Structure 1
């Protein structure tokens, strides 16, 4: 029997395919197609899903915060002017909306390190650490952010809340670690949060300290 002279390095393993790189422009087009299809399904008579569609604006805001925070960190270090140019707004507007530790209050480092791959367990721990408590304190116990009138979310929990609401069913054991007060606050009725979010989407932020209202776009679910 002749010796096998095939070089393994030049022969792909059976069943193993080369990883296909997908550009962000393709992701963008795919996401837009999904949203348009979602809107068409609701327009076909599913009025109950309208609130969930409108609530996606809060989650988009939350992931934009994480994306901007990542772009601001090493090794990228993009300036506020560069970020504002891509957003089509002024540097001051971008800094006011997505500002980090020195600009609007601390974004928890656990979120910055995990990025968009953050786990539900981490979201739960961060939410609990930055929860204002009951009765609410005047400052966030996790980062020291002073709450403006009528606002009880620091920038960190403003980012965490919509993500945890949407993904809470992925790890019910982790969510069960929240106290009853924390879980009740997380699952406030959608109607209250939806009205506030719609008003906020229609109007510009009135001041630098204004934190976007976030709400449960998946509906009311108090099971663990």
Structure 2
């Protein structure tokens, strides 16, 4: 076998192929195009795929939670205030929605920290942050709690609602800061129950990866026959 006569010093090293880098904005645009194309395929008569398409909302929540977890760890260590600012929510809401799973069914920190001394202004702000909106969301915008059938409040607002209603006359101007939907919801709970019924009809099947809480299920509630 002949001896290798190649002189390493005179032989140029092969160039490493440059790593392709996709800008986040370009990747975002690509994902949006895929989703729109998916919607067009379903709209073109594929009704069986509708459930899978709707289930992507839960997937987006899950991957957003993973992204937030990465931003919270070293070497980035972004604060909850910085994350909340990008999401357009309060730091407490961001922490409850995207923090540890146990936090998403816990009471808002502002209530726990204030205790019996909670101010009316705090009750108003917490109620507003956790209000499901109109049209109603399937999850609380403040803590990510998935509303069970027949339930219109997350655990936080289920606690805040009676307290705020009882103390509403302490400062009517403060209560008037609520949005029109939240103000009406506070004073007319029957509409809240109707809102929950509309949400149930629009979203009959919850995401399979999340348990359906029953803590606040209304006693004696009966389901209507879907074929009725």
Please say whether Structure 1 and Structure 2 have the same fold, judged by a TM-score greater than 0.5.
no
Q: Which has the larger radius of gyration?
A: 2
TM-score (normalised: structure 2): 0.43
